[in-house]
């Protein structure tokens, strides 16, 4: 196997991110054509900084969950079980009566919200989980499930007509509920049978087992002025554990998640030889979708300049901005700093994990340098 000089990558992570900027824990695994070419971690897993990382830790990956949810939904698309332009109401009846507020009045939407709108965050939803219909449901049924809660989102007015523009939102949570209905399985069970088991991922899920709770990395929140403060290891949400969030609910370890994204970077085939999705489906997943959609001047789909938005993920569409990666590389990130990149042209998969919520300019501070230094190290 060819060897590469990843010292600039590891120096940046350890000396800049960890020591200079103060990220308590950093962990990265890079695969190229199913071969691990870099495994590096530094920092501590506990709040007291007494326990060095050992690479076996569990992280909240927040919105990196979206990559797995979209993969699951696209499996159903390629099998003909759901269609990208199916109305969401085909699976979640509450969306048949989706409405907006026009001239102060409730007005039924002029076109249905579709599965494609869910993928592309153009469904008209927002990220508010404390609206009255949700609270009313949870008051009556505290253990409401994924489908019931996703249906309750439709009982509040949409922010805009479906397909009108992009807005980061609960769309992928609704997509997870669609997977549950269309497959006839609980969402977590579908992931288990169709992604986790085929790739032999044993430490990924919506619930942390008692055996794993001691392995969760200490989590912090950025407080400004370069300071961080400890926060709960578990998500601060009003939604119950019975709700499986397709937009941000997964816990995993670096080995598991890197194995998953390695499969997406290699035509849908895992390093164990098992296929989870077709190559042409992955190509569709990373094809920009919003060229005809209204985007305001701040649009960056949380990915930085040069990126468009595909079926649930960023995709590089313009290298003029200086990105050293390859056109068509795609992926996403998470609220506590997790970052993933898949580049099918080179069989390249990157997964980086940290555990600090709210870090400002996570793209320029951490993700873009890791991306660019990796491509330089590989000579791509």
Q: What is the mean pLDDT of the chain?
A: 94
How far apart are alpha carbons 163 and 174 in whole angstroms?
16
Categorise residue 359: left if φ over 0, alpha if ψ from -120 to 50, beta otherwise: beta
Whether 162 and 206 map to the same domain: the answer is no
Check whether residue 203 and residue 347 sit in a common domain.
Answer: yes
Q: How far is CA 277 from CA 189, 194, 209, in A?
A: 17, 9, 28
Residue 71 forms part of a structural domain: no
183, 213, 247: which is the final residue of a domain?
183
The predicted model scores a pTM of: 0.96
Domain boundary among 164, 183, 202: 183
3-state secondary structure (DSSP) of residue 8 = helix
Low-confidence winner among 51-55, 173-177, 313-317 (lowest mean pLDDT) = 313-317
Query: At which of 183, 206, 234 does a domain end?
Result: 183
Asked if residue 324 is part of any domain, the answer here is yes
Domain hosting residue 246, numbered range? 7-59+188-378
Give yes or no for a contact between 95 and 89, defined as CB atoms under 8 angstroms apart: yes
Same-domain pairing of 164 and 224: no
Which residues sit opposite 205 in a β-bridge?
Answer: 251
Pair (217, 301) in one structural domain: yes
81 is written with which tokens? Answer: 């079980």
Long-range contacts, 210-215 (Cβ 8 Å, 24+): 212/58, 212/251, 215/45, 215/56, 215/57, 215/58, 215/253
Q: Please name the helix (run of DSSP H) or strand (run of DSSP E) that holds residue 263, with its range, or none.
A: helix 254-265
Residues 46 and 22 occupy one common structural domain: yes
Task: Specify which residues 227 forms β-bridges with.
Answer: 224
Q: How far apart are CA 75 and CA 8, in angstroms?
A: 38
Residue 102 has pLDDT above 60, yes or no: yes
Residue 337: inside a domain, yes or no?
A: yes
Listed residue (26, 35, 34, 30) closest to 6, CA to CA: 30
On whether both 110 and 165 belong to a single domain, the answer is yes
Quick one: 344 and 205 in the same domain? yes
Q: Are residues 204 and 288 in the same domain?
A: yes
pLDDT at 1 over 70: no
Task: Please determine, for residue 111, whether its predicted confidence score (pLDDT) is greater than 90.
Answer: yes
Specify the residue for token string 């400890």: 230
DSSP 100-145: EEETTEEEE-SS--BHHHHHTT-SS--S---SHHHHHHHHH-TT--
* Domain identity same for 195 and 179: no
At residue 302, the pLDDT reads 61
| CATH number reported for the structural domain that contains residue 320 in this entry | 3.40.710.10
């Amino acid at each position: 196997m060819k060897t590469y000089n990843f010292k600039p990558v590891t120096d940046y992570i350890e000396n800049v991110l960890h020591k200079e900027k103060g990220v308590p824990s950093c962990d990265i695994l890079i695969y190229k054509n199913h071969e691990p070419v870099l495994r590096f971690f530094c920092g501590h897993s506990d709040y007291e900084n007494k326990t060095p990382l050992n690479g076996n830790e569990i992280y909240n990956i927040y919105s990196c969950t979206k990559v797995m949810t979209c993969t699951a939904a696209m499996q159903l698309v390629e099998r003909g079980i759901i269609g990208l332009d199916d109305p969401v109401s085909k699976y979640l009846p509450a969306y048949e009566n989706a409405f907006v507020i026009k001239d102060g009045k409730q007005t039924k939407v002029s076109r249905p919200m579709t599965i494609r709108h869910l993928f592309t965050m153009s469904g008209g939803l927002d990220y508010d989980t404390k609206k009255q219909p949700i609270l009313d449901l949870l008051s009556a049924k505290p253990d409401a499930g994924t489908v019931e809660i996703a249906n309750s989102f439709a009982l509040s007015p949409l922010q805009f007509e479906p397909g009108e523009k992009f807005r980061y939102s609960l769309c992928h949570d609704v997509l997870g509920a669609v997977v549950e209905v269309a497959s006839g399985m609980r969402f977590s069970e579908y992931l288990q049978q169709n992604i986790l088991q085929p790739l032999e991922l044993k430490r990924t899920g919506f619930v942390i087992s008692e055996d794993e709770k001691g392995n969760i990395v200490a989590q912090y929140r950025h407080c400004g002025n370069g300071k961080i403060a400890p926060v709960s290891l578990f998500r601060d949400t009003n939604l119950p554990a019975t709700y499986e969030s397709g937009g941000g609910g997964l816990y995993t370890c670096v080995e598991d998640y890197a194995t998953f994204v390695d499969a997406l970077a290699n035509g849908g085939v895992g390093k164990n030889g098992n296929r989870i999705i077709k190559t042409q489906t992955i190509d569709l997943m990373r094809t920009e979708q919003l060229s005809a959609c209204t985007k305001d001047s701040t649009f960056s789909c949380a990915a930085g300049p040069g990126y468009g938005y595909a079926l649930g993920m960023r995709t590089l569409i313009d290298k003029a901005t200086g990105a050293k990666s390859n056109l068509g590389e795609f992926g996403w990130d998470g609220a506590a700093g997790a970052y993933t990149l898949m580049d099918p042209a080179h069989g390249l998969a990157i997964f980086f994990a940290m555990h600090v919520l709210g870090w400002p300019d996570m793209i320029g501070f951490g993700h873009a340098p890791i991306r660019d230094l990796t491509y330089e190290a590989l000579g791509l």
